[in-house]
Amino acid sequence: MHNPVPEVSSDAVYDVIVLGAGPVGQNVAARARAGGLSVAVVERELVGGECSYWACIPSKAMLRPVVAVAEARRLDGARQAVTGPVDAAGVFRTRDRHVSSWDDTGQAQGLVDLGVHLVRGHGRVDGPRRVAVATPGDEIVRLAARHAVVVCTGSGAAVPDMPGIAEARVWTNRTATDTSKVPARLAVVGAGPVGVEMATAWQGLGSAVTLIAREARVLPQFEDFAGDLVGAALRQAGVDVRLDATVTSMRRPSPTGPVTLRLDDHSEVEADEVLVAVGRVPLTGDLGLESVGLSPGLWLDVDDTCRVRGIDGGWLYAAGDVNHRALLTHQGKYQARIVGEAIAAQAAGRTLDTSPWGRHAATADLHALPQVVFSDPEVAAVGLSAERAGRDGRAIRVVDVDLADTVMGARLYADDYVGRARLVLDSATDHVLGVTFVGFGVTELLHSATVAVAGQVPVSRLWHAVPSFPTISEVWLRLLEALRDAR
Amino acid sequence: MHNPVPEVSSDAVYDVIVLGAGPVGQNVAARARAGGLSVAVVERELVGGECSYWACIPSKAMLRPVVAVAEARRLDGARQAVTGPVDAAGVFRTRDRHVSSWDDTGQAQGLVDLGVHLVRGHGRVDGPRRVAVATPGDEIVRLAARHAVVVCTGSGAAVPDMPGIAEARVWTNRTATDTSKVPARLAVVGAGPVGVEMATAWQGLGSAVTLIAREARVLPQFEDFAGDLVGAALRQAGVDVRLDATVTSMRRPSPTGPVTLRLDDHSEVEADEVLVAVGRVPLTGDLGLESVGLSPGLWLDVDDTCRVRGIDGGWLYAAGDVNHRALLTHQGKYQARIVGEAIAAQAAGRTLDTSPWGRHAATADLHALPQVVFSDPEVAAVGLSAERAGRDGRAIRVVDVDLADTVMGARLYADDYVGRARLVLDSATDHVLGVTFVGFGVTELLHSATVAVAGQVPVSRLWHAVPSFPTISEVWLRLLEALRDAR
C-alpha cells in the first residue's frame, strides 16, 4: 500500500510521525528508520518517557539495594556481615545516575543518531495524516505523514476524585521515584505492582509504610498465592498492610503538617506523605483525536498489528500503554517493533504476516505476556492465570509446587526460603498456558516460562529441558513431576 | 522383552538392582518402582552420594553467602550496610544443616518409603544379571535381577601421581566441602568448575587462595570470555591466579607445617593446604565388571538409553557420571528417569521411543546440556560453544552481547556490572544451538536458553518471547537484535 503524499500546506512531510519519545516511540522510530523511512518524533517532555525517569528505571534502582541487603540478611554467615541500614543517600545517588538526573540530552542524541527528526512540543493529530505541534515557544509546527502516525503517548497516574486529595498534595509514581527525602511515615494507596514495589522500596529506605488496598490481598491481578506471600513478607518487613480498606477522604490541615486518611471503616491513618497508585489513565485527552472521529481521553482500540480500528486508510497506529493491551514497557517495545516493521513493510509494498505469532502480529500480548513485580519475594508471571484460563472455558490442568519444600536450589538460596510456583496446562494440546513464580531470586527464571509459553513447547519436550542442579529453576522439574504424577 | 528369571541360588531376586544410591541411583529406583518393578539399591557409603555430601550441595551452601555479601557490596546504598566479613562459622553451620551433618538417615528412609530394598555394602557385578554385595559385616549377599542392573556409582576425584603428593595430604572436593577450618593459605590446583568454585568460596571465607591452572585461562571448557571475566574477577577478589602453570612436585617436610608446590617455571607456592581439582575418574575399578567381559576402571560406554554396549541381553545400564556423557548431577538424574522408565516399559512389553528427543533417549546430553559455575560472576551455558559447533562442521552464526553496555536490567542489578553473552545459531534451521551467559545474577537465566535449545524454538518465534523490563533477561532481546542486524 503506497499512500500518496497528502496535500498539505505544511512545512514538513515524513513517512512516519510518532507522538511520544518514550521507549515505545523510540522503537517505532528505529524500526521505521531501519526500513528506510523518514521519521519525525514529537515529544512534549523528556525523550525516554515515563519508564526512563519515573517508573521502571528509578523504581528498580531504588529497590535493588534494598533487596540485595535483605538477601544477604537471609543467610547465616552473610547476615553477620550486614550491620547497618541501607544508605538512602547512596540509593538516591545511584537512581539519579540511572535517570541521568532527569536530563534527556543523551536519549535525544540517540534519536538524532538514528536520523530521526525530533520535534519538541505538544503534538496533536490535526486531521488525517496530519500533526500540529505546539512548540515550547508557542509556535505551531505542522507535519504530514505519507504512511503513518503512531500514538505512543503512554499513560499517567490515575488520581481519584476524593475530598481533600488536592490539599493532601499526594504523590504519584513520579514523586515516589524522583524524591530524595525519606518521609518518616508514608501511606501507599493501592496494592498493585506500583504500590507494592514502592512500599517495599520506601520501607527499605527507612519510611514507616502503611499500604492500603481495596482488595482482600495485595497484587490482586496475580494468582492468589502471590498476594498472600508478598503481603505476609511486607508485614514481616514492617509494613502496616490494610486490606479490604478504601480511603474515603484525606486532609492536610497544615501545609507543612501530616496528612490524615480516613478509611471506610472510619479508622484513620496519619502519614507525612501519601502515594496514590490506584491505576493508570491513557494520555489521549489532548491529542486532537476528535479531528479524526475518535473520542478523546479513552484507550485506543487497536488490532493485533496495533492499527487503530475505525480509521479510513488505516494510517493511525497506537503502541504501548495507550492501546491498553499491556501496560508494560517491554510489551510496548515489542508492539513498537511490530508497528515499525509493519509500516516499513507496507510502504515497500510487502504483504504483512498477521497470522498468530506472525511477524506483524503482537500475539504475545494475548498469550505470553510476562510481568515481574520487583517485590521481596519477587513475583514473575507469564500467560494465563488459572482463574483466567478457567474463565476462558479452556480444559486446563493446574499444578502447584512449594519451592522451600521441594527445590534444593531454593533452600540453598536463602535460609527459610519462601516461594511457590503454579503451572497452567492446556489439557488438549499439552502446551503451557501460564506460569507464576513467587519467591526470592525468581525474576530471571521468568524467561524460561516465557519461552515455553510463546514457543508452545509441549510438556513431552520440556522433560528434555533439564534444569541445572542446584538452581531455583529445578522448580520446573517439580512442576513436570506434579503434572506426571497427577495424571 | 520379558526376561526369564535367571537360575540362581541367590537369596533374593529383584526386577532391578541399582549400584549406588546417589541422586542418580535414587531416580532410577523411583522410576522403576513407579513402573511397578521391585528394586534393590546397593550403597557402600552414604545414601545421597557425592552430590549431597561433598559436591553440589555443600559447595553451593558455602558459595551462596559469599556471593550474597559480594552482591550487596556492589551497590551504592547497600554497600554501606555491609561492614564486616563473611562469618565462616555461620557458613559452615548452614552447610552442615544442608548435608544433614553427613548423616543419611533421612535419605535412606526416603528409599524405604519408595518400597526399595536398601542393601548396605560394596556391590559387584557377579556374572550376568547377578550382583554380590560385601556387607559391612563382611558377609556376601547375593542378588539377582530379572530385568536390569544399573551402575550409578559415579566418579571420584582424580589425584595425579606426583612427587610428594602423598606427603602433602592434598584436599579433594571432599575435604574442600567438609572442612570447617579456614586455612590461612590455600592452593587450588585445577581451574575447572570445582577449582574455580572452591577458590571463590574459600577466598570469601578468609583464605588467601592461589589458583594454579595448566591452561591459558580458567574454565577452559567454556567460551573464552567466561574464563577471561571470571579470571579477572578472581584476581580482583584477591585470588592469586597462576595461568599456564603446571605443578611438578609438592613437599610438606613437617606434618604440621606448610606445603610447598613447585611449578614448571621453577617458581614455588607455599600454602597451608592444597586442593587438587584436576578432573574425575570413574568409580568402576572394583565393580566386578570383568565378570561380564568389561574392563574395570574405565568409563562405561552406553547408548542413548544409557544401556551399556556389548552386553548380551542388554540387561546392564549405566547412568550418571559413570557413563561419561555428562558429569553433572542434574543430567545424571535426567538419564536416571529415562533408564528407570525404559526398564519398566520393556518389562511391561512396551516398545521404547528412542528417537531423538523421544521418551527413552537422553538426547539432551548431546544437544542441550546445561551447566552453571557458581562463581562470581556466574557462568551458565547450554548446548554447543562456538568452537565446538564450528568443529562439528555446522554452518553457524555467532553473536555476542556485552551486558553492561546494552542491558539496563544488568546495570540496575549491580554498579559496574560485568557480563557477556553469546548465542550460537544453526544457520540452516534458525534453531539456537548454544548460549553462554557470564555475569552477576545470570544463573536462573540459563533455563530460558535450555528451553529454547531443547525446544528447538526458531528465532522467528523467540521474538515473541518478550523479556520483562528491566531484567537481565533482556539480554535475549539484544542477542536477537544482534542476529537481525548482522544479517
One digit per residue, the tens of pLDDT, for chain B of length 487 reads 344 444 444 569 999 999 999 999 999 999 999 999 999 999 999 999 999 999 999 999 999 999 999 999 999 999 999 999 999 999 999 999 999 999 999 999 999 999 999 999 999 999 999 999 999 999 999 999 999 999 999 999 999 999 999 999 999 999 999 999 999 999 999 999 999 999 999 999 999 999 999 999 999 999 999 999 999 999 999 999 999 999 999 999 999 999 999 999 999 999 999 999 999 999 999 999 999 999 999 999 999 999 999 999 999 999 999 999 999 999 999 999 999 999 999 999 999 999 999 999 999 999 999 999 999 999 999 999 999 998 888 899 999 999 999 999 999 999 999 999 999 999 999 999 999 999 999 999 999 999 999 999 999 999 999 999 999 999 999 999 999 998 6
The pLDDT of residue B487: 67
How do residues A19-58 score in pLDDT, each as one tens digit?
A: 999 999 999 999 999 999 999 999 999 999 999 999 999 9
- Residues on chain A touching B92 (C-beta within 8 angstroms): 77
- Mutate one of A71, A327, A440, A464 to test the B interface: name it (highest B CB count within 10 A): A464
Residue in B closest to A471 by C-alpha: B444
Quote the minimal CA–CA distance from B111 to chain A in Å: 16
d(CA B60, CA A327): 38
The DSSP element (H or E) to which B322 belongs, if any, is none
A482's enclosing H/E stretch is helix A475-486
Name the closest residue on chain A to residue B452, using Cα atoms.
Answer: A451
The pLDDT, as a whole number, for residue A363 is 98
Between chain A and chain B, how many beta carbons pairs sit less than 8 Å apart? 306
Count of positions (residues) in chain B: 487
Decide if A98 and B412 are in contact by the 8 Å CB cutoff. Answer: yes
Per-residue pLDDT at A5: 39
Task: Look up residue A249 and give its amino acid.
Answer: S
The pLDDT of residue B133: 97
State the number of CA atoms in the 13 A half-sphere of A70 facing the CB: 23
Rounded to an integer, the average pLDDT of A105-117 is 97
Q: What angle do CA A231, A233, A237 make, to 5 degrees?
A: 120
CATH superfamily entry for domain A173-278:
FAD/NAD(P)-binding domain (3.50.50.60)
Closest CA of chain A from B441, distance in Å = 8
A281: left (phi over 0), alpha (psi -120 to 50) or beta: beta
Q: Does domain A12-48+104-156+282-364 have CATH number 3.40.50.2300?
A: no
Q: Is the ipTM of this complex over 0.90?
A: yes
Q: Which three cell numbers stand for residue A201?
A: 522500596
The residues spanned by each domain of chain B are: 12-48+104-156+282-364, 165-278, 377-486
For B418, the grid coordinates are: 560485568
Contact across the interface for A68 and B65, Cβ inside 8 Å: no
Other Cβ atoms within 10 Å of A396 Cβ, number: 18
For residue B5, the model assigns a pLDDT of 40
Partners of A61 on chain B (C-beta within 8 Å) are 412
Please tell me the pTM assigned to this model.
Answer: 0.96
Instruction: Choose, out of A180, A408, A469, A487, the residue to mutate when testing the contact with B (most B CBs < 10 Å).
Output: A469
Q: Which CATH class is domain B165-278?
A: alpha beta
CB contact under 8 A, A330 and B474: yes
Q: Identify the band that residue A392 occupies on the pLDDT scale cut at 50, 70 and 90.
A: confident
Which chain A residues have a beta carbon less than 8 Å from that of B329?
Answer: 469-470
Q: Which residues of A touch B444 (CB under 8 A)?
A: 441-445, 471-473
CB–CB contact B461 A455 (8 Å): yes
pLDDT at residue A394, as a whole number: 87
A56-82 burial, b at 16+ Cβ within 10 Å, e below that, comes to bbbbbbbbbbbbbbbbbbbbbbbbbbb
**For residue A288, which phi and psi values (nearest 5 degrees)?**
70, 20
Gap between the Cα atoms of A202 and A35, Å rounded? 44
pLDDT score of A385 more than 50: yes
Q: What is the mean pLDDT of chain A?
A: 96
Chain B environment of A70 (Cβ under 8 Å):
none
Domain A173-278 and domain A377-486 have a common topology: no
**Cα radius of gyration (chain B):** 24
Task: Quote the CA–CA distance of A407 and A475 in Å, as a whole number.
Answer: 6
The set of residues, in sequence order, having a beta carbon less than 8 Å from that of B139 and lying 6+ positions away, is none
Asked if CATH classification 3.40.720.10 holds for the domain at A377-486, the reply, yes or no, is no
Residue A89 has pLDDT above 60, yes or no: yes
Contact state of B448 with A447 under an 8 Å Cβ cutoff: yes
* Residue in B64, B86, B462 nearest the CB of A412: B64
Interchain proximity B462–A455, CB inside 8 Å: yes
pLDDT tens digits, one per residue of A306-340: 999 999 999 999 999 999 999 999 999 999 999 99
